[in-house]
Amino acid sequence: MNTLASDSIHTEEIILNEDGQVGGAATPRQHHQLTPAQVLSWLPKNATPEQQDSAIQANIKPSEITWSQQPDTLHLPGHTAGRSWRDVSMPEFQGDSFLHGQPYFNPELFGGRQGVAGDPVPYSIARDNVITGLLLFCFIIAAIAFAKSKRFVYKQARHFFRPPHDERTSGITETSGEVRVQFFFVLQSCLLFALVYFFHVQIRVTDTFIIDQYQVIGVFALINLAYVLLKSAAYWITGWVFFDRRLNDIWMKSYLFLLAMEGVCIFPAVMLQAYFEVPVETTLVCTGAVIALFKMLALYKSYIIFFRHSGHSLQIFLYFCTLELLPLMMLLGVLDIIGNCLKVNF
Task: Summarize pLDDT for 251-265 with one digit per residue, the tens.
Answer: 888 888 888 888 888
pTM for the full predicted model: 0.62
pLDDT computed for residue 20 by the predictor: 47
Residue 50 pLDDT exceeds 50: yes
Q: What is the pLDDT of residues 286-314, one digit of tens each?
A: 999 999 999 998 888 888 888 776 666 67
Instruction: Output 232 or 91, whichever has higher pLDDT.
Output: 232
- Give the ranges where 161-212 is alpha helix by DSSP (H): 176-204
pLDDT computed for residue 12 by the predictor: 46
Is 277 in a helix, a strand, or coil? coil
DSSP code of residue 344: -
Residue 94 pLDDT exceeds 90: no
Q: Structural domain boundaries of the chain?
A: 1-58, 125-342
Distances (CA, A) of 136 to 126, 145, 192, 261, 283: 12, 14, 13, 18, 19
Q: What is the arithmetic mean of pLDDT over 263-285? A: 86
Binned at pLDDT 50, 70 and 90, residue 73 comes out as low
Binned at pLDDT 50, 70 and 90, residue 149 comes out as confident
pLDDT computed for residue 167 by the predictor: 46
Q: What is the pLDDT of residues 186-216, one digit of tens each?
A: 999 999 999 999 888 888 888 788 888 889 9
pLDDT computed for residue 172 by the predictor: 60
Binned at pLDDT 50, 70 and 90, residue 6 comes out as very low
The backbone region for 112, taken as left when phi is positive above 0, alpha when psi lies in -120 to 50, beta otherwise, is left
pLDDT computed for residue 331 by the predictor: 92
Q: Which residues pair with 22 in a beta bridge?
A: 16
pLDDT computed for residue 31 by the predictor: 58
Q: What is the arithmetic mean of pLDDT over 316-326? A: 85
pLDDT computed for residue 25 by the predictor: 45
pLDDT computed for residue 337 by the predictor: 92
